[in-house]
Amino acid sequence: MAATSLHHAIGSFHSHRSNISSGFQNGIGSFSVTIVPKGFGIDSRLIGRGSSCSGRWTSGVVHASSSQSSVSDPIQLPSNSNTSGSRKKSNETALILIRHGESLWNEKNLFTGCVDVPLTQKGVDEAIEAGKRISNIPVDVIFTSALIRAQMTAMLAMTQHRRKKVPIIKHEESKQATEWSQVYSEETEKQSIPVVPAWQLNERMYGELQGLNKQETADKFGKEKVHEWRRSYDIPPPNGESLEMCAERAVAYFKEQIEPQLLSGKHVMIAAHGNSLRSIIMYLDKLTSQEVISLELSTGIPMLYIFKEGKFIRRGSPPAPSEPGVYAYTRTLANYRQKLDEMVN
Ligand SMILES: O=C(O)[C@@H](CO)OP(=O)(O)O
């Protein structure tokens, strides 16, 4: 049985929790409430043993102790400076999550998983539009999956950012790769944003469904079975990962590598995938395994959280760069935007 959704024109973020409040309920890209009929059942039989696509890539790590907090940005925020000139860490940071834009296999309605497929022209446009929406929000470090569709999305989005820092992919897959991609200017480094690719943020590995057409698979195995493979929490598709298995590596990576960045005062963007992000949102919003079933993410719509005092506060999707409400979220964001305006004028 399908969940009944109250979709927006472009709904990005659907959850059946009724106690979630959003800064943006009306514009495109806002999240909405989904009503899930009681007893929406999941067949608990194990269909196949999943095998993770882990280990094919080496993850890069940006250490929290390297350069501290967004205040290392030449744009100095008044709230982050004290009189002696030394810097205090910001106590609220932005976390932007973005699912990649439409891929060539999204367009063809094929199960994609860990197959490394690029964006369509529409996906490119979505990524650029997403970039416009977050163009006034600070970004100090970007995490992407190891897959090109997420990396393209992050890079294209950053072409729109008003701060004009250069996103640079960190190559730490070997000692040589690390050495050969060194930057020897501190000034140039300051004008860069590290982009950390991590296989742990990859799409859920779809096993033997990868490359199959979703409609044809539903016709063959039945709609209910395919919905169970696609949206149940703990039932993997044949030889693939369940959402639970995907969450084990994606959420562990988030806790070990991304949270320390936020805690150190950095503003973070994550460009990843429908299911790796669903598992991270499950953690951020403390959704239950029943609640996450109805969480759907659209391609190329950024979602903003504020990380404050160890808590994640969901702020919905910034609808447009000119939307004043976005910057009223926090003093840090308002100040950052003001500084950007001053730089331009
Ligand atoms: O094919 C996939 O990899 C995913 C995301 O596009 O599909 P689904 O929506 O079924 O999880």
Is residue 332 over pLDDT 70?
yes
Which whole number is the average pLDDT over 251-257? 98
For residue 192, report the distance from its CA to the centre of ligand 1, in Å. Answer: 32
Q: What does DSSP say about strands 166-169 and 92-99: parallel, antiparallel, or unpaired?
A: unpaired
Residue 100 is among the residues annotated as catalytic for this protein: yes
pTM of the model: 0.78
* Residue 204 counted as an annotated binding residue: yes
CATH superfamily label, 4-344: Phosphoglycerate mutase-like (3.40.50.1240)
Catalytic residue among 8, 14, 16, 100: 100
- Hunting for tokens 């909405």 — which residue is that? 32
Summarize pLDDT for 118-152 with one digit per residue, the tens: 999 999 999 999 999 999 999 999 999 999 999 99
Which whole number is the average pLDDT over 22-38? 29
The residue whose CA has the least distance to atom 5 of ligand 1 is 274
Which whole number is the average pLDDT over 81-90? 42
For residue 111, report the distance from its CA to the centre of ligand 1, in Å. Answer: 6
Is residue 171 over pLDDT 50?
yes
* Residue 316 counted as an annotated binding residue: no
For residue 120, report the distance from its CA to the centre of ligand 1, in Å. Answer: 16
* Residue 102 counted as an annotated binding residue: yes
H or E element, residue 103: none
Helices (H), 271-327: 274-284, 324-327
User: 4: closest CA among 44, 36, 33, 51?
Assistant: 36
Is residue 215 over pLDDT 80?
yes
Atom of ligand 1 nearest to the CA of 231: 11
Atom of ligand 1 nearest to the CA of 274: 5
- The answer to whether the CB of 240 falls within 8 A of the CB of 212 is no
* Residue 50 counted as an annotated binding residue: no
For residue 200, report the distance from its CA to the centre of ligand 1, in Å. Answer: 16
Residue 203 is among the residues annotated as catalytic for this protein: yes
Q: CB-based contacts of 318: which residues, under 8 Å, 6+ apart? A: 24, 29, 133, 134, 137, 302, 304, 326
Strands (E), the chain: 4-5, 13-15, 31-35, 92-99, 141-144, 166-169, 192-197, 268-272, 296-297, 302-308, 311-314
For residue 176, report the distance from its CA to the centre of ligand 1, in Å. Answer: 35
Atom of ligand 1 nearest to the CA of 230: 10
Which whole number is the average pLDDT over 315-324? 73
Give the mean pLDDT of the chain. 78
Catalytic residue among 92, 126, 129, 203: 203
Is residue 86 over pLDDT 50?
no
The residue whose CA has the least distance to atom 11 of ligand 1 is 230
* Residue 314 counted as an annotated binding residue: no
pLDDT at 2: 35
- 321 phi/psi in degrees, rounded to 5: -65, -20
Report residues whose beta carbon is within 6 angstroms of any ligand 1 atom: 106, 111-113, 203, 206, 230, 274-275
> Which pair of tokens denotes residue 321?
């760069």
- The answer to whether the CB of 123 falls within 8 A of the CB of 149 is yes
Mutation choice for ligand 1 from 106, 145, 147, 277, CB with most ligand atoms inside 8 A: 106
Is residue 75 over pLDDT 70?
no
Is residue 44 over pLDDT 50?
no
For residue 106, report the distance from its CA to the centre of ligand 1, in Å. Answer: 8
pLDDT at 326: 58
pLDDT at 283: 98
